[in-house]
Structures are given as C-alpha cells and as structure tokens.
Amino acid sequence: MDRLLLLGMNHATAPLAVRERLAVAEARQAHAISQFQQRFPESEIVLLSTCNRIEIYTVAKGQAETEEIAKFLPDFHGLAAGDFDSHWYRKTEKEVAQHLFTVTASLDSIVLGETQIIGQVRDAYELARTSGSAGPLLHPLFQKALAVGRQVMTQTALGAGRLSIASTAVDYAKSIFDRFGDKTVLCIGAGKMARLVISHFHNLRPGRLLICNRDQTKAEALAAEFNGKAVSFMELTSHLAHADIVITSTGATQPIITRTMFESVLKLRRYRPIFIVDIAVPRDVENSVGQLEHVYLYNIDDLQQVVSATQSQRSGEIESARALVRAAVEEFAAWHRNRQMGPAIEQLYARYHGLAQEELARITNRYPDMPTEQRQQLEEMVRRIVNKLLHDPIQTLKNADAQHAPISQYLHAMNKLFHLDEGDGKSA
C-alpha cells in the first residue's frame, strides 16, 4: 500500500555545515526531481530545499524504499549517504501532514511568523506540479498546507511585529556603524533573498549601493530597483576593499570569499570594520573569515538564532496558530482515511447489498403474484437492514484513529473479516 513519507533535515537536526552539503540550488531542483523519478518510477515527489531545511515529500511503497530514498540526495551530490544518517528525520502518514502544515504555518521556522516559507513551499509545489511529480496524494496535501499557511498569517498575529533575518541584520549593522551616508553596501548575488535584505538596508540610505553578480543583467535590474550600481563580479576584491557592509547570497557551491583573499582585502581597506551578512546556503564566505579582527561575519544560522531568542513573548499567538494546524491536520487525515477506505467501503456495501438482493430474489421468486407495492416494501426493508448492519463497522472504520493502528491494518482486518478479497457474489 502507498504511504505518505517525509524524509528531511532542518536547522534543529543538522547544522548549516551539513545542510549546505545536501542543499539543492533552485536551478538544479528540476533535475533532482527528474533523477528521483527515474530512480523511483511512478513515485510522487515534492522537494523543498531552503536555507533552513531539505525535505523530500513522497509516497513510498515500503520500508525498503524508504531506506533507498534516504540515499537519493547524497548520491545526487556524490556524497557518502552514511555521513547524514543521524541528521535525517522520517515521518509517515498523518505525521507528514502535521509536519508540513507546521512548516507552512511558519511554526517550524527559527524566525516564527516569517512569511517567506509560504512562498518557498508554494515554489516547491509549483515545480512539482509543472514537472508532473505531484500526484493524487501530494496535490491535496500541499494545497491544504498552503491554505493553512495563509490562514495562520491572516487569522493570528503570529507574523505581526516579527523580527526577520533582514531586520536583524540591519540592527546588527546599526550596532557596528553610526552613520550610513558615508558607507558602501555591497550585495553579491541578485536573487530573491538578496533583494529582500537589500530592501531593508536601502532604508538606511547608504552612500553607495553596489550589486555584484555573475549575471550582469540581473545585477543591473536589481541596481535599478534600489538606485544602486551594478559592478563587475570579476573585480570582487576591489569592491570588498571599498565596502562597509557586504550581503552575499549567491548559488555558488564553494565559498567565493576565502580567508586568504580577505586578509589582503583588510590591508587594502586599512582595517576599517566590515559587516558581512552571508545568507547563502551553501555559504559564500569561509567561516574563518569571521575570526579576523575588524570583521563581523554573520551567516543565516547566526541571525536566526538571535531572532529566535526574542520570540518568547508571542506564545499566545503560537498556540492559536497550533490550534489551526491541528484542525487542518485532522481534516486532512479524515480525507486521507476516506480516500484509502472508500473503495473498501464501497466494496463492502456492494457485496452485502448483493447478498441481500440474492435472498430477496429467492423469496420473491417463490411468490410471483406478490403485488409490486409489497415487493417494493420488501426491497426497502432488506436495503435498510443491510445499511443498519453495516453502519456501525463502517463508522468505526471512518473514525479509526490512525495513531492507534495504521489504516492498512484496518483494511486488512476488514478484508479478512468480510472476505472482500474473494470478490462479489460469493457467500460469506
């Protein structure tokens, strides 16, 4: 039987150094999905790879396949699967819905209430939809998840007054620098995250805003939006020497700013303090650069940890959001149960109504002169008896607690007890 399965790692189970090795860049996600489908034919998959998490939502056939799925991403990156075993979490069935809805409601984010995660889940689902990798189980799951996310954001104040990564980075910049009119902000990369952070730094009215990207067209577009200047990626060292605040958010798989490179930059900049916000996963700046004097390096985990430390006062809103998630999970679980049990229940009805009709036909054949009205009354009585007899077991099945026993067990028991696998027409 098909089972909903989630295999993932996030900021709680794996440090950034581990996550960045398995992260799948946006440009490669379609390729990863295609590879997954080649390896697991007829499978469904949604791949969610953000700076905080890497998660595979899929439908597994059995335990053996689950273990194979765990090897997929390490194999995709050419890494040893064993290195990541302790970081994965595995969830099945209702737990999958519970987790995804919690993620989309921004309750699993380090920055509670951040809205970016809804966009990231939507993008992941859209990619799966266009790739044709989302099927009859993942479609409703993700649609429900997105609805829950929107509901939490509109019906609770979880997102109100939240601290974002970008606003926290700005606060840190204000702790380092006093004035910004004479400062240069350099942004390396021109993606969505870079744009988000720049929009916050732009409000500080820095003296110069430089956008540096391999794709000059994108850099120019972003520079035009924020009244900045697009500069050449080839002259990165020179730009670093002039910059006071650096925001890096590229899709590079290796650090683009190394310690050796930065030691020479520090001399060029006469040891002026520099604030580096590295929000890229994998990281763009070598961690050891942050050990240099006058360098204040913050990566995505550093900023998120700081933000999470300030969230305790919103516990009331968190509880409201959790209540919405719980309700949605129950709703989805009921739908999923019905979907799985529906054919069996229909089979059960068909079988017993068939048996009843057989017995009814036997009686009515004995009394061919029976008036039509009496015949109809007899048919109605038989139908009602069958319905009443089946009512209790079917209701019990519909309301079966999946936590108590897997749905597959109920279905198996039903098949055995009512001989559904023997097909219609055979006597019980």
Task: Cite the active site residues.
Answer: 51
Residues 207-235 as b/e (b if ≥16 CB within 10 A, e otherwise) read eebbbbbbebebbbebbeebebebbebee
> Is residue 388 close enough to count as binding other proteins by CB under 8 A?
no
- CA 281 to CA 277: how far, in whole Å? 12
> Is residue 174 close enough to count as binding other proteins by CB under 8 A?
yes
Distances (CA, A) of 423 to 36, 219, 348, 366: 37, 66, 10, 28
Phi first, then psi: give them for residue 210, nearest 5 degrees.
-110, 135
* Part of the chain binding other proteins (CB under 8 A), chosen from 129-137, 170-178, 213-221, 251-259: 170-178
What are 11's two structure tokens? 């900021």
> Is residue 403 close enough to count as binding other proteins by CB under 8 A?
no
Q: Which of 62, 136, 161, 342: binder of other proteins (CB under 8 A)?
A: 161
* Part of the chain binding other proteins (CB under 8 A), chosen from 136-144, 303-311, 390-398, 407-415: 303-311
Q: Which of 76, 296, 335, 349: binder of other proteins (CB under 8 A)?
A: 296
> Is residue 294 close enough to count as binding other proteins by CB under 8 A?
yes
> Is residue 15 close enough to count as binding other proteins by CB under 8 A?
no
Distances (CA, A) of 286 to 52, 97, 289: 19, 37, 6
CB 100 within 8 A of CB 6: yes
Shortest approach of other proteins to residue 275 CB, angstroms?
9
Q: Reduced to 3 states, what is the DSSP secondary structure of residue 293?
A: coil
> Is residue 178 close enough to count as binding other proteins by CB under 8 A?
yes
- CA 338 to CA 202: how far, in whole Å? 52
> Is residue 233 close enough to count as binding other proteins by CB under 8 A?
no
Q: Which of 2, 26, 68, 171: binder of other proteins (CB under 8 A)?
A: 171
Nearer to other proteins, 171 or 225 (CB): 171
Shortest approach of other proteins to residue 173 CB, angstroms?
9
The sign of the torsion formed by the CA atoms of 37, 39, 43, 45 equals negative
Nearer to other proteins, 31 or 179 (CB): 179
Q: Which residue, among 145, 119, 148, 149, has the nearest Cα to 134 in the 3D structure?
A: 145
> Is residue 367 close enough to count as binding other proteins by CB under 8 A?
no
Sheet holding 89-92, edge to edge: 45-49, 53-60, 3-10, 89-92
Shortest approach of other proteins to residue 257 CB, angstroms?
18
Shortest approach of other proteins to residue 200 CB, angstroms?
14
* Part of the chain binding other proteins (CB under 8 A), chosen from 72-80, 212-220, 235-243, 288-296: 288-296
> Is residue 205 close enough to count as binding other proteins by CB under 8 A?
no
Amino acid at 85: D
> Is residue 253 close enough to count as binding other proteins by CB under 8 A?
no
Shortest approach of other proteins to residue 79 CB, angstroms?
28
To which H or E segment does residue 359 belong? helix 315-366
* Part of the chain binding other proteins (CB under 8 A), chosen from 111-119, 297-305, 347-355, 375-383: 297-305
Q: Reduced to 3 states, what is the DSSP secondary structure of residue 278?
A: strand
- CA 16 to CA 395: how far, in whole Å? 48
Nearer to other proteins, 135 or 290 (CB): 290
Shortest approach of other proteins to residue 315 CB, angstroms?
13
> Is residue 293 close enough to count as binding other proteins by CB under 8 A?
yes
- CA 189 to CA 251: how far, in whole Å? 8
> Binders of other proteins among 268-287, rule CB under 8 A?
270-273
> Is residue 101 close enough to count as binding other proteins by CB under 8 A?
no
Looking up tokens 């998840």 gives 145
Shortest approach of other proteins to residue 270 CB, angstroms?
4
Which residues of this chain interact with other proteins, rule CB under 8 A?
A: 161, 171-172, 174-179, 270-273, 293-294, 296, 298, 302, 305-306, 309-310
